[in-house]
C-alpha cells in the first residue's frame, strides 16, 4: 500500500511541485496519474522512489515512512519497485540483454537465474532477436519495451511508469498498456503517469488528477470495482494475449512467446495464473505484499 499524507515538495529553486497531497493506493490497484505538463506527476514518482525527499508530510510504502530511511537503506526499498522513466534511461554502451540484466546483477543474483529471467522477459516482450542490439539501434517502441523488461526483471511489488507510452504510436501504446494491465493482474500495484487522456478514457481505471501540484480529482474506476484492473483473475490466457500483442508489435515473425512459458509447475500464492507465469518465476515474486522493505531496511535510528 502507498500512502501520502499532506505531502509538500519544494525544489531548491523554490518551485512548489506538490502541495498538500494526500492519497492512498491499495495493494494490487492500477492507478493513472494525470495532469498537464508541470503538474507534479514525475515529482510524485521520484518521491516514491526516494530520489527526492519530501519537504513536508509523509510517504508510506507498506506502512513504513520511507523518507526517514537512511540513504543506505533506500536500495532495499527499491528492490520492491520497478520503474520506467519518462526518458527510458537505457545505458547506451550496453546491449538490450545487459540493460535488462543489470538490475539483477546489482542485487547479486546469480548468473544462471539472471539468464533465465532475462530470457523469459525478452521473449515475452518480443525482444529476443534484438538482445544483442544497442539502444541507439532500437526503435522508440523497442526501447520502451526494454525499459519495461528492466523494470520487471526483479519482480517488483510496485511498478511505477512515467509516461510509458509517451513516445509510441497509438497502436503500440495500447499494446504496452495491455502489458501493464496484465502485470497488474498478476498482483503488482501499478501507477502510470500519463497526460494521454484518450488512453485514460479508454480504460476507465482509477485516475488521480494533479493540477499545479495538488490532487484536484480522484476519479474512481468506471466499473466501480476495487483492487485490480477489470478482468482480474482471467488466468494465464490473458498473459498469452498480452505477450502475443507485444510480439505482434515487434513484428510477427521475430517473436516467439512459447519460450517465455517454461516454468509451468509453480503455484503462486495468489492461486491464479500459476500454469504459465513468466513474470513470477520465484516464490514471493510479484504477488508478494509490498511490505518487504521492512525486513531489511532499518529506519534511521533503529
Ligand X SMILES: Nc1ncnc2c1ncn2[C@@H]1O[C@H](COP(=O)(O)OP(=O)(O)OP(=O)(O)O)[C@@H](O)[C@H]1O
| Interface positions with ligand X (CB under 6 A) | 11, 13, 15, 17, 35, 37-43, 86, 195
Q: Residues for the chain: how many in total?
A: 302
Per CB under 5 A, 42 contacts Mg ion:
yes
**Which CB, 101 or 208, lies closer to ligand X?**
208
* Minimum separation from the CB atom of position 51 to ligand X (A): 10
93 binds, among Mg ion, ligand X, none (CB under 5 to 8 A by kind): none
Nearest residue to Mg ion on Cβ basis: 42
95 binds, among Mg ion, ligand X, none (CB under 5 to 8 A by kind): none
Q: For 174-204, give one letter per residue: b (16+ CB within 10 A) or e.
A: bbbbbbbbbbbbbbbbbbbbbbbeebbeebe
User: Across the strands, what pairs with 158?
Assistant: 81, 189
* Minimum separation from the CB atom of position 89 to ligand X (A): 14
C-alpha cell at 96: 538490450
Closest CA to 35 of 148, 190, 205, 196: 196
Residue 301 CA, chain-centre distance (Å), reads: 31
Closest CA to 38 of 15, 55, 54: 15
How many residues touch Mg ion under the rule CB under 5 A: the total is 2
**Which CB, 193 or 287, lies closer to ligand X?**
193
* Minimum separation from the CB atom of position 136 to ligand X (A): 23
Per CB under 5 A, 43 contacts Mg ion:
no
* Minimum separation from the CB atom of position 14 to ligand X (A): 8
Q: Where on the chain is the footprint of Mg ion (CB under 5 A)?
A: 41-42
Amino acid at each position: 500500500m502507498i500512502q501520502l499524507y499532506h505531502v509538500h515538495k519544494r525544489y531548491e529553486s523554490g518551485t512548489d511541485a506538490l502541495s498538500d497531497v494526500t492519497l492512498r493506493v491499495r495493494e494490487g490497484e492500477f492507478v493513472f496519474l494525470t495532469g498537464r505538463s508541470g503538474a507534479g506527476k514525475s515529482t510524485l514518482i521520484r518521491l516514491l522512489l526516494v530520489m527526492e525527499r519530501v519537504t513536508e508530510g509523509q510517504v508510506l510504502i507498506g506502512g513504513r515512512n520511507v523518507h526517514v530511511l537512511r540513504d543506505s537503506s533506500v536500495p532495499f526499498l527499491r528492490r520492491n519497485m520497478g520503474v520506467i522513466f519518462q526518458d527510458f534511461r537505457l545505458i547506451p554502451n550496453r546491449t538490450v540483454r545487459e540493460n535488462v540484466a543489470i538490475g539483477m546483477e546489482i542485487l547479486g543474483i546469480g548468473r544462471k537465474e539472471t539468464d533465465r529471467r532475462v530470457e523469459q522477459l525478452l521473449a515475452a516482450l518480443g525482444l529476443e532477436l534484438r538482445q544483442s542490439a544497442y539502444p541507439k539501434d532500437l526503435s522508440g517502441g523497442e526501447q520502451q519495451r526494454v525499459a519495461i523488461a528492466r523494470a520487471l526483471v526483479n519482480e517488483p511489488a510496485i511498478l511505477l511508469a512515467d509516461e510509458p507510452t509517451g513516445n509510441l504510436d497509438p497502436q503500440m501504446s495500447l499494446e504496452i498498456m495491455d502489458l501493464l494491465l496484465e502485470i497488474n493482474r498478476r498482483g503488482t500495484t501499478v501507477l502510470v503517469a500519463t497526460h494521454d487522456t484518450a488512453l485514460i478514457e479508454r480504460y476507465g481505471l482509477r485516475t488521480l488528477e494533479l493540477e499545479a501540484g495538488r490532487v484536484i480529482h480522484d476519479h474512481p474506476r468506471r466499473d466501480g470495482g476495487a483492487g485490480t484492473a477489470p478482468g482480474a483473475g482471467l488466468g494465464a490466457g490473458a498473459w498469452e494475449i498480452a505477450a502475443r500483442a507485444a510480439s505482434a508489435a515487434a513484428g510477427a515473425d521475430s517473436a516467439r512467446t512459447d519460450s517465455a512459458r517454461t516454468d509451468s509447475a509453480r503455484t503462486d500464492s495468489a492461486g491464479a495464473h500459476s500454469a504459465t507465469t513468466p513474470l513470477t518465476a520465484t516464490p514471493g515474486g510479484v504477488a508478494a505484499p509490498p511490505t518487504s522493505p521492512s525486513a531489511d531496511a532499518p529506519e534511521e535510528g533503529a
